[in-house]
């Protein structure tokens, strides 16, 4: 079962020659979730080719600064031109609805599909999306305007039966279904075999947290505690801490400290200021790894796999 992240953009407010603004795609069991939609997102989707527009049904927007939403309007138009018919779900602060309504008034007449808007309260930690295999919850962030990250959690998978028990107890197909759903087994002799003995969890649920843009926040660390993969913005190197605070962003060291405090398994940093060209990004990696060794700077077009930890 796939659980992977593809980074489409790693720059902050200004795009550079080599870096696009923020956009991530999370693949959970071949269902694709777009997180933020900076300028050029659809170009990056085409460039990296393994993500089909038609599979994007849910878009999560962290906040309403341009480098996180300017790509949304072109993407909406392209989906219409491509003949999309399925609903497109957009999750964001309620102010985006007014922007979208005005855009559609001029550019969305007789669109081939409908946009379903889901207002998000950026000040609380709550579940805003749920399906059969995962949940998405908000992570309140500290920024100049209302902003939230998103925490994607895989649900506990259905239990598997130890194969040797199927033959040993001559378990029928019907009983297999019941056992997988948590029931005990009653044998022909009248004994009851506990479900915990018959089954095992095939793998531990996986998780990904997206946190951009934000100042250092211990509340964030509490919410994302123990996640498999944390993306945390690091707009500035540590020697520009004053600038980071003035603009309500984080430094490399602060991102590393959040990961350390939260006890996450792996940290990715991005949202780099345009003042830094690509040749300077090794300094970001050096600084963040000094605080939290299991860290990397994001690379656009790279897919980061979160492997399933087998339990059998």
Alpha carbon distance 43, 181 (integer Å): 44
Q: pTM to 2 decimals?
A: 0.92
Question: Are 105 and 130 in the same domain?
Answer: yes
Least confident stretch, 157-161, 165-169, 215-219: 165-169
Question: Are 86 and 181 in the same domain?
Answer: no
Question: Are 121 and 134 in the same domain?
Answer: yes
What's the pLDDT score for residue 311?
56
The answer to whether residue 239 is domain-embedded is yes
Calculate helix-pair angle for 41-48, 72-81, nearest 10 degrees: 60
Active site residue 36: no
Question: Are 255 and 297 in the same domain?
Answer: yes
Instruction: Tell me the pLDDT of the chain averaged across its residues.
Output: 92
Closest to 249 measured CA to CA, from 59, 41, 11:
11
pLDDT at 191 over 80: no
Question: Are 46 and 195 in the same domain?
Answer: no
Question: Are 212 and 245 in the same domain?
Answer: yes
Domain enclosing residue 231, as ranges = 3-157+201-305
Question: Are 212 and 118 in the same domain?
Answer: yes
Catalytic residue among 67, 175, 242, 277: 67
Going by pLDDT thresholds of 50, 70 and 90, the confidence category of residue 199 is confident
Question: Are 10 and 23 in the same domain?
Answer: yes
For 101-110, which contacts have Cβ atoms below 8 Å and span 24 or more sequence positions?
103/73, 103/76, 104/76, 107/73, 107/77, 108/76, 108/80
Contact between 100 and 59 (Cβ < 8 Å): no
Question: Are 106 and 68 in the same domain?
Answer: yes
How many structural domains is the chain composed of? 2
Q: What is the pLDDT of residues 126-142, one digit of tens each?
A: 999 999 999 999 999 99
| Higher pLDDT pick, 252 / 180 | 252
Question: Are 209 and 280 in the same domain?
Answer: yes
């Amino acid at each position: 079962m796939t659980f992977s992240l593809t980074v489409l953009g790693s720059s902050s407010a200004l795009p550079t020659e080599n870096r696009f603004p923020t956009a991530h795609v999370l693949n959970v069991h071949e269902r694709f979730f777009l997180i933020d939609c900076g300028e050029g997102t659809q170009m990056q989707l085409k460039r990296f080719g393994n993500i089909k527009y038609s599979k994007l049904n849910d878009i999560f927007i962290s906040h309403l600064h341009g480098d996180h939403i300017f790509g949304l309007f072109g993407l909406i138009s392209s989906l219409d031109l491509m003949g999309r018919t399925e609903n497109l779900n957009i999750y964001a602060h309620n102010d985006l609805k007014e922007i979208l309504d005005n855009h559609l008034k001029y550019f969305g007449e007789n669109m081939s599909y409908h946009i379903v808007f889901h207002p998000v309260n950026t000040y609380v930690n709550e579940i805003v999306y749920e399906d059969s295999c995962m949940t998405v919850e908000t992570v309140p962030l500290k920024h100049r305007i209302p902003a939230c990250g998103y925490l994607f959690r895989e649900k506990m998978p259905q239990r598997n039966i130890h194969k040797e028990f199927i033959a040993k107890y001559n378990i029928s197909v019907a009983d297999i279904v019941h056992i997988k759903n948590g029931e005990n087994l009653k044998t022909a002799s009248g004994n009851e075999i506990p479900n915990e003995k018959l089954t095992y969890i095939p793998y531990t649920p996986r998780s990904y947290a997206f946190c951009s843009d934000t100042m250092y926040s211990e509340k964030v660390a509490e919410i994302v505690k123990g996640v498999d993969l944390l993306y945390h913005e690091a707009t500035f190197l540590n020697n520009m801490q004053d600038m980071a605070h003035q603009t309500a962003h984080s430094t490399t060291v602060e991102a590393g400290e959040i990961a350390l405090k939260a006890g996450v398994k792996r940290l990715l940093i991005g949202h780099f200021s345009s003042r830094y060209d690509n040749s300077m990004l090794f300094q970001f990696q050096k600084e963040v790894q000094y605080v939290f060794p299991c860290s990397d700077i994001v690379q656009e077009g790279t897919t980061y796999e979160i492997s399933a930890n087998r339990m059998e």
